């Protein structure tokens, strides 16, 4: 028998606001700080369940979740699939290569089709920024963004925050947010949706965020979002508590953005040599997939105690379980959750 860890107290919401007020999760940009904290707290329950031998909860039993992925994914798709199944839902994966999209069906037609099948939640990954919102506007159930173009990837940012919370707690530095911490995100900031979602999430949790990239891979005017901008990685690392490495998103690049992979590694790679020069307790993160030997050396990626890469994957399932649970509460008739819209 599975013992379900207790639900944390529902004390995150300001007086008079009983429920998480959103029907969809399209981006971190839509969330307030207490809503981010609420999701992280809720996910802790699922971390504990996922560490038991029997990992089944029947919370979403009878519901159908469609994972509609119009862009390649390994860990995010698998993570959402496992999350839905552990909560007892029927999970169906639709991947672009086998869908009518190849026959020229529009995104809106696909949305209408998924809706007609009476899905109870739809998880979308798509190559175009804004695709999730477009689908959300056309369907009657909650829609979760699993990455839309270079716009947002909210569950990735949430799982990163949870992984970091755990790592800090294990060092005896437990705190609910990241006030006083400096976190550097280094890599292809221009094309990376993780950079945008993480920036918003980490800032909401009180961190100082540094963004580091070659000038060609840094969006113009990004300082307006409150980030400190660097093009010198060593300077960015100085005083950082955490570094998040991002992959070069070559599939989104039209033309040549960097002189060569070798040159890129030299200036922006988290090499073993560079890590030695950084603070001895610097934590290393990467959302995957990693290009080992380009933005991160294998020795660094696999460094026990410092690299959180596998921890991030673990937390991903728990975060997605929390999001699926929270967003389906209105439809499941959970008391106090009628107001999600
Ligand atoms: C990220 C993505 O797809 O945006 N990966 C992921 O979800 N684990 C980052 C990336 O592709 O580089």
9 located within any domain: no
Q: State the distance from the centre of ligand 1 to the C-alpha of 165, rounded, in angstroms.
A: 21
Total Cβ atoms within 10 A of residue 16 = 5
Q: What's the gap in Å between 315 CA and the centre of ligand 1?
A: 15
What the block records as the tokens of 223 is 């300082």
Centre of ligand 1 to C-alpha 274, Å, is: 24
CA 197 – ligand 1 centroid, Å:
12
Report residue 161's pLDDT band, with 50, 70 and 90 as the boundaries: very high
User: Which of 189, 286, 287 to mutate for ligand 1's pocket (most ligand atoms within 8 Å of CB)?
Assistant: 287
- Separation of 289 CA from ligand 1 center, angstroms? 6
CATH code assigned at 237: 3.40.50.1370
- Which H/E stretch holds residue 266? helix 261-268
Terminal Cα distance for the chain, rounded:
35
Sign of CA dihedral 120, 146, 320, 39: negative
39-95: per-residue pLDDT in tens?
999 999 999 999 999 999 999 999 999 999 999 898 999 999 999 999 999 999 998
| Residues having CB within 6 Å of any atom of ligand 1 | 75-76, 147, 153, 156, 193-194, 247, 287-288
Average pLDDT of the residues in 195-201: 97
Please indicate, yes or no, whether the overall pTM of this predicted structure exceeds 0.85: yes
The yes-or-no verdict on residue 16 having pLDDT over 60 is no
Instruction: Tell whether 60 and 169 lie within a shared domain.
Output: no
Do 178 and 149 share a structural domain? no
Name the residue at shortest CA distance from atom 7 of ligand 1. 76
Whether residues 163 and 105 fall in one domain = no
Number of domains in the chain: 2
Residues 83/146, Cβ–Cβ less than 8 Å = no
Shortest-distance atom of ligand 1 to CA 188: 12
Atom of ligand 1 nearest to the CA of 247: 12
Residue 192 Cα: closest atom of ligand 1 = 4
Rounded to the nearest angstrom, the distance between the alpha carbon of 192 and the centre of ligand 1 is 8
Please report whether residue 5 resides in a domain: no
Rounded mean pLDDT, 242-249: 94
- The verdict on 178 and 274 lying in the same domain is yes
Q: What is the domain extent for residue 31?
A: 16-153+315-332
- CA-closest residue to ligand 1 atom 12: 247
Same domain, 162 and 283: yes
For 279-314, how does the pLDDT look when each residue is reduced to its tens digit (9 = 90+)?
999 999 999 999 999 999 999 999 999 999 999 999
Tell whether 97 and 51 lie within a shared domain: yes
Our measurement of the distance from residue 122's CA atom to the centroid of its chain's CA atoms, rounded to an integer in Å, reads 16
If asked whether residues 171 and 108 sit together in one domain, one would say: no
Beta strand residue intervals within 4-111, DSSP E: 64-69, 90-95
């Amino acid at each position: 028998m599975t013992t379900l860890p207790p639900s944390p107290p529902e004390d995150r919401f300001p007086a008079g606001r009983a429920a998480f007020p959103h029907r969809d999760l399209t981006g971190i940009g839509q969330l307030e700080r207490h809503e981010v904290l609420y999701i992280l707290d809720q996910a802790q329950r699922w971390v504990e369940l996922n560490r038991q031998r029997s990992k089944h909860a029947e919370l979403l039993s009878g519901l159908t979740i469609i994972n509609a992925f119009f862009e390649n994914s390994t860990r995010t798709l698998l993570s959402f699939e496992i999350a839905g199944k552990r909560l007892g839902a029927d999970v169906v994966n639709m991947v672009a290569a086998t869908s009518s999209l190849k026959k020229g069906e529009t995104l809106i037609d696909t949305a209408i089709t998924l809706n007609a099948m009476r899905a109870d939640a739809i998880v979308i990954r798509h190559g175009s920024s804004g695709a999730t919102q477009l689908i959300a506007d056309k369907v009657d159930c909650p829609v979760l963004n699993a990455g839309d173009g270079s716009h947002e990837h909210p569950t990735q940012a949430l799982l990163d925050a949870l992984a970091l919370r755990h790592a800090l707690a294990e060092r005896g530095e437990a705190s609910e947010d990241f006030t006083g911490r400096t976190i550097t995100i280094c890599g292809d900031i221009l094309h990376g949706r993780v950079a945008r979602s993480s920036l918003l999430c980490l800032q909401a949790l009180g961190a100082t965020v540094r963004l580091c990239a070659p000038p060609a891979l840094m969006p113009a005017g990004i300082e307006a979002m409150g980030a400190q901008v660097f093009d010198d990685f060593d300077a960015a690392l100085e005083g950082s508590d955490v570094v998040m490495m991002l992959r070069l998103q070559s599939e989104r690049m039209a033309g040549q953005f960097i002189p060569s992979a070798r040159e890129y590694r030299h200036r922006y790679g988290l090499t073993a040599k560079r890590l030695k020069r950084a603070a001895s307790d610097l934590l290393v993160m990467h959302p995957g997939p990693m290009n080992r030997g380009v933005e991160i050396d294998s020795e660094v990626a696999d460094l026990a105690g410092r690299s959180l890469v596998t921890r991030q994957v673990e937390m991903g399932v728990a975060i997605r379980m929390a999001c699926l649970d929270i967003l389906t509460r209105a439809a499941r008739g959970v008391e106090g959750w009628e107001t999600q819209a």
